[in-house]
Amino acid sequence: MRYAKSLNLLFEAAKERNLSPEDCLVGTGLSVAGLADETMRLTTAQEAIAIENLVRAADDEIGLGSDVGRRMHVHMFGIWGFAILTSPTLRAAIQTAIKFIKLSFVIADMKLSESDDRARLVFGMKQLPESIHDFILERHATVAITFIKEILQLSYTDPFTVETVRSSPQYCDRLSAVMTVNVAARAVQPALAFPAEWLDKALPKSDPQTLQYCLKQCEVLLKDSDNEMMPWSARVREVLIDHIGEEIKIEPVASQFNVTERTLRRRLTDEGSSFRAIYTDVRLSVAYELLETTGMNTETVSWRVGYAESASFIRAFTKKFGKKPGEIKRKKS
């Protein structure tokens, strides 16, 4: 899951082309009002659809991706960007960028390769619609050039080459003019190439103490990001299991995720679930396990999973499993 802020840059480019944010969001399941929520997340697939809508509406404009990429300034990338800028060498900066790529707006896979005297940032796009590959190459290459120029304090772009799998000389010439870099056709993979000797140069902005702080923060954010990849229903289940014997409402659960009750309800609905359904399922599933493994009686299990009245528990249990709690036989150890 990704922060929805990246869509704001698409909206800016769309507005300059007399297109609305709604034009970009067709088919994404997202709304402009919903995106006002700063905690809102979107999937890579949703962002890809939004990009596809913009590319189509702009008649496959050459350089559109580069235009959006130029709006991505270094400061927008937060601690990830600072970790890159304060790395000891360009190689280390790229390795850090790739390791913590989930913290960025990059949606292509990225790897570093070297051959002869050239280094390449290779962008893997197999998971993305082919219709947006040009846009993604343009955007990612533009952002990479911006970072490398900042890191090495360059004022020129001559040594860079954007390598495209396309064979059209017209496309290459037009993109070269827009990006003011060399563009090479018929590449095996889309990539940004530059002199390999740059990789191990000491960087003028290197700062070991700042770097270590940034890397620690990136580790924390990456862990949180991995947790956010879990479906909301799974995250809610984890909280409810931790509080299985308590009568718990949705408000404190939502607060643990730093979202409002309304936001949590909406996200569960988007997954085809609800807080009440998850709560009931967790309580009854734990109850079944207790009955089967501990031999506790119905009244005790009812209390252990948070039911105030055993009669209510028996009705809910029977409805879910088709048998009464007293019919569950303890497993032999």
DSSP-derived letter for residue 5 is T
Structure-token match 């939502």, residue found = 254
> Regarding predicted confidence, which is higher, 250 or 247?
250
> At residue 258, does pLDDT exceed 80?
no
Taking only the tens place, the pLDDT of each residue in 67-113 is 999 998 877 788 898 899 899 999 999 999 999 998 888 999 999 99
pLDDT of residue 2: 62
Other C-beta atoms closer than 10 Å to the C-beta of 153 total: 9
Task: Calculate the average pLDDT of the chain.
Answer: 89
> Which three-class secondary structure state does DSSP give residue 244?
coil
CA distances to 13, 52, 91, 114, 252 from 8, rounded to whole Å, are: 9, 15, 31, 35, 31
Beta-strand runs (E) in 9-63: 41-42
Stretch 296-324: mean pLDDT, rounded? 91
E strands, the chain, in order: 2-3, 41-42, 109-115, 118-124, 161-163, 182-184, 191-195
pLDDT at residue 333 greater than cutoff 60: no
Higher pLDDT, 171 or 243: 171
Is the pLDDT score of 123 beyond 60?
A: yes
